[in-house]
Amino acid sequence: MNSLPKSMSWPPVASLVTPFSLHFMAALPNAGPFVEFSIEGDINEGETFYSPALAVRDGKVKIPDGPGWGVRVNPSWLERASYAKSER
């Protein structure tokens, strides 16, 4: 496996893609040492739409370890969310 190229994940926006990507990278035998965390500044400013909030400490992000993807959508955020359905 040492011959595999390093794989990186680039979830640049504050969304559920970030915890998904962290879990994906943790499962890879050839994960690279970096992951793009957010180009939007501090994604934990104000109310976040999922918890626990992710934070960078000493250049590292702890992978959430709750059930499933490790995070849960905050019910208060979900109550205010819009619902849209696309149809052909």
User: 63-81, pLDDT tens digit by residue?
Assistant: 999 998 899 998 988 898 8
Cβ atoms of 18 and 50 within 8 Å: the answer is no
- Specify if 19 maps to a domain: yes
State the pLDDT at residue 45.
Answer: 62
State the pLDDT at residue 2.
Answer: 61
Q: How many domains is the chain partitioned into structurally?
A: 1
Tens of pLDDT, residue by residue over 25-52, are 889 899 888 887 777 766 666 567 888 8
DSSP for 45-71, written as a single string: SS--SEESPP-EETTEEPPP-SSTTS-
Q: What DSSP state is assigned to residue 11?
A: -
Domain housing 55? 7-75
Task: Quote the pTM value.
Answer: 0.73
